Structure 1
Amino acid sequence: MQELTHTEKVFSVLDTGAELLEKEEDVTYLEALAEIGEMIFQGSITKSLNPELEKKVVPLIDDINTMSNISKEEYRRAIQLAVLKGMKEATQPHHAMTPDAVSLFIGYLVKKILGYEQLKDKPAVIFDPAVGSGNLLTAVMNQIGAKSNGIGGEADETLLRLSYVNSNLQEHSVDLFHQDSVSAPFVDNMDVIISDLPVGFYPNDDMAVNFKLAADEGHSYVHHLLIEKSLKHIKPGGFLFFIVPNFLFETEEAKKLHEFIKSEGIIYSLMQLPKTMFKNEKWGKSILVLRKKKEGIKSPKQALLVELPSFSNEGALGDMVQRISSWFDEQLKGS
């Protein structure tokens, strides 16, 4: 019988522990997952459990403690598998995870643009205003390889706890904030902003009216408000990578959004994700790459508009990535 990989072993421990805590404590799987993840990070029981449950949980923690050389990516992928299982059981519509291939692709792009940045030994500061369970943020940080500091904002307490555990187990330097990132203060001068933007209406009209992209009537789009706020606070010349709905520039508010982006930033690329990734084509998404305006930066003569092939088609994807890479190389020289 083939021996389990580290990822499979860590997932098995997380899954077994989460199921035990979920049943015993009458909490959701995701809440229980955050608890067992914290125990694994601490290497011990972190809360009072009944003796029978403790007898079952302690050996699980010990199993992880006896494993050596678990990599950041192995921890991330194991947590991702467990979170995906929990999200299938969850009723919250906003509980969804960025596909792994997309996270890695964005990480590749971020690494490329940071290679052109003059950071001078300073760690790159990367912010995700809708960090969720931390999968996209830590996937990007793992891809960069160099020292980086992450910042994440998240309104959902359970997802924030999962992001906390995720970051700790991967030993990343991440500051996390329990906040509605539309209304909460942003840190200024971040190097990169990444986010799988929440899509829908923002309920607080009194807050939305402070934004240029507030709707003329009714509720405003939360993804529009986060794009505006992100462009306002990233450093001049900084890049933003957003996962957005394909209909972003097709709504009644699209003209206002496009005009705002042109006033504050530069559209570098819109890359449509493979349709096969989505059960319903109308919920398809794209990667929108923006850059904050800065004196001396030349805008591309034309934004790079591409439709990405299936991530399982290695040949076609490899050709497309090379094309995208060469295009960014050409645009970033001397910028």
Structure 2
Amino acid sequence: MEVSPVEQLFAVFDGTAAILQEELQCTYLEALAETGENIFQNTILQEELSEITVKRLEKSYNLVAEKNFLSEEYRKAFQLAILKGMKEHVQPNHQMTPDTVGMLVGYLVNKFVEASSFRLLDPAVGTGNLLTTVINYQDNRQVEAIGIDIDDLLVKLAYVNANLQSHPVQLFNQDSLEPLFVDPVDAVVCDLPVGFYPNDDRAAAFDIRAESGHTYAHHLFIEQSTRYLKPGGYLFLIIPNGLFESEQAANLHAFVKENLNIQSLIQLPFNLVKNEADAKSILILQKKGENINPPKEALLVNLPDLSNGAAVDRILQKINAWFAENK
């Protein structure tokens, strides 16, 4: 049976990460970042390895060097290896965005953002999977991308991920809710980290802050993203379905009403999550500005099971009809 390019790449990532994990006495994810950097640099950067280990690694790396893999093949294979590593290195709020959702966000960015080149920010970039999926779906347009995350290991994985796919991504390792050294962007994509933000002093600088106690981080991410968005720019947010129903929702409602136009709410299929309570949607907002008008009506969609091709096609036709009417 023929082995797919993604399977070939995964075998190299996985096998060489396991070798480095043992030799360097580190976690699988740390070893994966090391091996990804070796592949990108086309050399073995770890000086403390034995000669036998170096030869084993070179044999695997040569398999990659001999072939021209596509960006999407690198992304999918690296994603599979990261998912394997996350099973042993569990971190809350670091579940990876499912591929089908990332592709849908990429499709929507392609539809809404019309410029031939644009600036794109992911303020909770994680391993870079959502950001690079979106870039890969931009029809040869030039994307200047920025990613931010507080976790240094995830930023290192995002850095390797972007390099392997030949995407120029600027990465910052910092708390995304602190002031950012980022010029305004045309679009933001974000799988919102859900939970409370522990830094009440910093939260006090936001309009959406809670009256008492900790503020929801996912609310603050919406305001922070809006601050760094150009007038007329778009937010593509993966949100919990109960976003506007929490006890802190009143301030969020007021902020959205004053600063943003709701373009679309696309409810994702329940079968993408284990518990219905964890179900999510894609919320698309546009920052208000001069000559920026809200749509005649927002695009509201309940996505069917994504394996149902005919039903998905009908939804895509509905989306295209909405664009013809509103854009």
Q: Show CA shifts across 1:68-120 (max 9, x none).
A: x21111111111111111112222112210000110011011111123xxx4x
- Which residue of structure 2 lines up, in the alignment, with residue 205 of structure 1? 200
Q: Show CA shifts across 1:237-295 (max 9, x none).
A: 00110001111011011121011011011011111110001001101111010000022
- Which residue of structure 1 lines up, in the alignment, with residue 4 of structure 2? 5
- Which residue of structure 2 lines up, in the alignment, with residue 56 of structure 1? 56
The answer (yes or no) to whether the contact 1:7–1:74 under 8 Å persists in 2 is: yes
- Which residue of structure 2 lines up, in the alignment, with residue 138 of structure 1? 132
Deviation at 1:202, TM superposition (A): 0.6
Q: Distance in 2 between matches of 1:35 and 1:76?
A: 16
Shifted more, 35-44 versus 52-61: the winner is: 52-61
Secondary structure, aligned partner of 2:137: helix
Deviation at 1:66, TM superposition (A): 1.1
The answer (yes or no) to whether the contact 2:107–2:137 under 8 Å persists in 1 is: yes
Counterparts of 1:1-335 in structure 2, within 5 Å, are 2-48=1-47, 49-67=49-67, 69-115=68-114, 119=115, 123-145=117-139, 146-332=141-327
Q: Distance in 2 between matches of 1:263 and 1:35?
A: 46
Matching residue's letter, 2:22: K
The answer (yes or no) to whether the contact 1:235–1:292 under 8 Å persists in 2 is: yes
Secondary structure, aligned partner of 1:60: helix
Q: Distance in 2 between matches of 1:140 and 1:331?
A: 23
The answer (yes or no) to whether the contact 1:127–1:192 under 8 Å persists in 2 is: yes
Matching residue's letter, 2:188: I
Deviation at 1:51, TM superposition (A): 2.3
Matching residue's letter, 1:211: F
Q: Show CA shifts across 1:31-56 (max 9, x none).
A: 11111000000111011112232222
Deviation at 1:186, TM superposition (A): 4.9
Q: Distance in 2 between matches of 1:252 and 1:17?
A: 48
The answer (yes or no) to whether the contact 1:266–1:291 under 8 Å persists in 2 is: yes
Q: Show CA shifts across 1:142-180 (max 9, x none).
A: 100311111000111111111101110110111011011
- TM-score if structure 2 supplies the norm length? 0.96
Secondary structure, aligned partner of 1:249: helix
Gaps of 5+ in 1: none
Deviation at 1:189, TM superposition (A): 2.4
The answer (yes or no) to whether the contact 2:17–2:35 under 8 Å persists in 1 is: yes
Q: Distance in 2 between matches of 1:184 and 1:66?
A: 44
Matching residue's letter, 1:195: C
Gaps of 5+ in 2: none
The answer (yes or no) to whether the contact 2:206–2:223 under 8 Å persists in 1 is: yes
CA distance change for structure 1 residues 131 and 33 in 2, over 3 Å: closer, same or farther? Answer: same
Q: Distance in 2 between matches of 1:23 and 1:155?
A: 27
Secondary structure, aligned partner of 2:318: helix
The answer (yes or no) to whether the contact 1:108–1:143 under 8 Å persists in 2 is: yes
Secondary structure, aligned partner of 1:326: helix
Matching residue's letter, 2:87: K
Q: Distance in 2 between matches of 1:89 and 1:316?
A: 37
- TM-score if structure 1 supplies the norm length? 0.94
How many corresponding residue pairs? 325
Q: Distance in 2 between matches of 1:317 and 1:33?
A: 35
